[in-house]
Structure 1
Amino acid sequence: MARERCKVCCNAVSACICKWISPIDNKTTIVILQHSDEVKKPLGTAKIVTLSLQNAVLKIGVDFSDDVDFNQLVYGTSEGVGILYPSESAITFEDWVAKERCPQGVNNADQLPKTLIVLDGTWRNTREIINVNPVLKNLQGIQLTPAQQSNYRIRKAPFKNSLSTVEAVAQALNALEPETSVGTMLNCFQNMIDYQIRCMGEEVYRKNYLSD
């Protein structure tokens, strides 16, 4: 018999994260392009982002060329639109903010980047999204230097400095709009991980995630 699932977060009712969700009024629009393979993973963190942030959109798939909103975003004016991806031409969030505030040498202290596209999936997944949607390569790439090691203790990452989607978005918003508190979003992430470790047991956790 299939387990009953929460209609909001889609997790099993016993693992529902909704009780830890608090709304966050962010200014920068976060658009998450989630690879179809990631939807099947119950411990993905994109759902924490979209449930927490009042200004966030989740799109699922690989080829977004038929998505009207996506096309308007990437083929319309790309001013203030960036993609969180470590391309060769990627710049830091600090440089992106400075660039948007001083377009063509005009200083505007109130002007901030408007939209950040975030790819959700494995490195292989995200490369596939980029290759299938080459228009994404035309957007301003933003690189993120992790402020600290990821707390995603129940997933093994291919790189030491890898961050979960929720951690990456939280760090991005800290840079783009430091006045916006994202603590509750990270607390939800922490609580989800702690709950899963309790369910599997400390011995299983240490054997599978702490062993060399």
Structure 2
Amino acid sequence: MNLVLLTHEREVDRPTNTGLLALNAFPQWCRRIIWSRVSPDLALIELISSHSAAVLFPRPKLLCFSEGRCDADGKGEPEPMENIQAQLYLEYMPDTLIILDATWQEARKMMRQSPYLKAADKFALTEQADSGFTLRRNQIEGGLCTIECIIGLLELKSRHQEVELLTQAFHDFQAGRQSG
């Protein structure tokens, strides 16, 4: 398993960034690329266009309107139905996954403003617990922070030692931030 944290520039210096936990613990299979709308990473685009990687992104909960248009997550402007259907989700976990390391608002913006991300294969965690992330306000229902996504992926791969290590690191991280 290889992970690419496609990190929004504002996320890099946030003290609540949980992606750093995986980057520090497992640099052999987790790396960071800073997202840029105007200068996307060419190697990442190649990975995506060759179907060698998928973007970890939740399946949209669609609300359909009588005129045949749907609104992903019930927010924002409705999208044409064909745009939603074009976002095919893989049923298997690819060797390389791209995680949008950002707030939910920033992650949606990254997806919306990056044609290569929109066109990418997608993979979604199907079984997930509620988020235990408490360090930021305005979290979306069912949304997980970056490290919780990584822990979920490791659980799918039965990598129990890494799950335990990152779960403890996440617990310690939150406890340290809340007491500080």
Report TM bin, short chain: 0.7 to 0.9
Compute the RMSD of aligned alpha carbons: 2.1
Deviations 1:41-72 (A, max 9, x none): 11111111111222011011332744232233
Q: Which residue of 1 is the match for residue 65 of structure 2?
A: none
Report the structure, 1 or 2, having the larger helix content.
1
Report the structure, 1 or 2, having the larger strand content.
2
From 15, 18, 28, the counterpart of 1:42: 15
Aligned residues: 152
What is the DSSP-based 3-state SS (H/G/I as helix, E as strand, rest coil) of the residue aligned with 2:148? Answer: helix
Q: Which residue of 1 is the match for residue 170 of structure 2?
A: 189
Overall identity of the aligned pairs, in %: 24
Q: Which residue of 1 is the match for residue 31 of structure 2?
A: 57
From 149, 158, 167, the counterpart of 1:178: 158
Q: Distance in 1 between the 2:125 and 2:54 partners?
A: 12
Q: CA deviation at 1:158?
A: 2.7
Contact 2:54 2:120 in 1 (8 A): yes
Based on CA coordinates, which of the two structures has the bigger radius of gyration? Answer: 1
Gaps of 5+ in 2: 60-83
Q: Which residue of 1 is the match for residue 42 of structure 2?
A: 68
Q: CA deviation at 1:189?
A: 1.0
The one-letter code sitting in structure 1 at the alignment partner of 2:35 is G
Q: Distance in 1 between the 2:159 and 2:15 partners?
A: 31
Runs of 4+ with deviation above 3 angstroms: 87-92
TM-score calculated relative to the size of structure 1: 0.64
TM-score calculated relative to the size of structure 2: 0.74
Contact 2:154 2:160 in 1 (8 A): yes
The one-letter code sitting in structure 1 at the alignment partner of 2:135 is I
Q: Distance in 2 between the 1:142 and 1:66 partners?
A: 21
